[in-house]
Amino acid sequence: MERLWTDCRFAQVNQHPAPVGLLLHGNRSRIKAQVALPMPCNGIQKHARQEPLQCDRTSATIQPDDPKNPSTMNRCQLSLLLITALSMTVGAVWADTHGSTLIERPAVGPGMNAYYYDADPEHWKTIFERAGREVFDRRFEIVNALNITPGMRIADVGAGTGLYTMLFARAVGPAGRVYAVDISERFVEAIEARSAEYHVENVVPIVNHQRAVTLPPESVDLVFLADTYHHFEYPISMLASIHEALVPDGVLILIDFRRIPGISDSWILGHVRAGREQVIKEVEAAGFQYQGEPVKLRRNYCLRFSKLQ
Ligand SMILES: C[S@@+](CC[C@H](N)C(=O)[O-])C[C@H]1O[C@@H](n2cnc3c(N)ncnc32)[C@H](O)[C@@H]1O
């Protein structure tokens, strides 16, 4: 079975989030993080502490005042230099990947997803695929409302244990594709095993990272998010990446919990970052148009968006 993996550069970015608020200007060629280390480095002398640094902003090259005496960097200066190098490298990777000039602040803490990375899929199946969970109880109605046709390419982003992946695989038929995308390798492996067990051959498992779906541009007709949007640590980046992965006029379906202060229970108020109206605003700001609710849910809502150019 075909299996796609995230570039390890991205995994590094995910494990060590880029510094908040770092602004990068210009295109890639101008933000190369090439820091020239004066050699030899092992000659750091403490008496050089007072020496001012000059920073050439365009090349990010840091030089001591006296280039003839490069070994006079102190530890503090070296630390500054290394931090700068690290920040710019991470930033450069980010900008390279996303063509963006702004590093996004996390919308939720990493604790939101920490337990999924090492998840036991069998355990989570008893939670995600249990009677009483609205998106489980009404799964057939939801899938029917999406007008899926044979041959479609669907990305089930935040696929979890594969509840919807399997239903989509049947709906798109052998000519279609379902990308089961999740940050949790354990979940993705379980979906792969589940597909093999049921001889499902049109599912492509993908381990992505917190900032992107890692799908090729214009490769899918529909992106589906069930109870996943509020788990996005970087929703702006994820939406940009989803937008890029969709074909022109592609569809985004977003199911999430209703969050109404004073009405929703305390678990939802504490766990879910944004309510329906705020979510619509965020998704529209990412280049989508809200097109209504294909199915009316009670505890959740189901939103349909189409991609704008
Ligand atoms: C509440 S579960 C929902 C699982 C499945 N959609 C369902 O309804 O049964 C949220 C899922 O989103 C995944 N997730 C969180 N952030 C993600 C991201 N940025 N990209 C892809 N998956 C993500 C988690 O690993 C988890 O499997």
* 297, pLDDT greater than 80: yes
* 38, pLDDT greater than 90: no
Question: Architecture of 111-307 per CATH?
Answer: 3-Layer(aba) Sandwich (3.40)
Mutation probe of ligand 1 site: the residue of 113, 124, 154, 255 with most atoms within 8 A of C-beta: 113
For residue 226 and ligand 1, the question of a CB distance below 6 A is answered with: yes
Predicted pLDDT at 9: 28
Find out whether 231 and 157 touch, Cβ atoms under 8 Å: no
255 CA to centre of ligand 1 in angstroms: 12
For residue 183 and ligand 1, the question of a CB distance below 6 A is answered with: yes
145 CA to centre of ligand 1 in angstroms: 21
151 CA to centre of ligand 1 in angstroms: 25
Q: What is the mean pLDDT of the chain?
A: 77
Residue ID of nearest Cα to ligand 1 atom 10: 228
For residue 31 and ligand 1, the question of a CB distance below 6 A is answered with: no
For residue 154 and ligand 1, the question of a CB distance below 6 A is answered with: no
Residue given tokens 């004073």 in the structure block = 262
Query: Cα torsion for 151, 153, 158, 160, to the nearest 10°?
Result: 30
125 CA to centre of ligand 1 in angstroms: 13
Please report, for the chain, the start and end positions of each structural domain, with discontinuous segments joined by +. Answer: 18-98, 111-307
203 CA to centre of ligand 1 in angstroms: 17
Comparison of pLDDT for 75 and 208, the residue scoring more: 208
- At residue 109 the predicted structure's pLDDT band, cuts being 50, 70 and 90, is confident
* 13, pLDDT greater than 90: no
Residue given tokens 């000039």 in the structure block = 101
53 CA to centre of ligand 1 in angstroms: 46
* 230, pLDDT greater than 60: yes
Residue ID of nearest Cα to ligand 1 atom 15: 231
- At residue 80 the predicted structure's pLDDT band, cuts being 50, 70 and 90, is low
183 CA to centre of ligand 1 in angstroms: 7
For residue 135 and ligand 1, the question of a CB distance below 6 A is answered with: yes
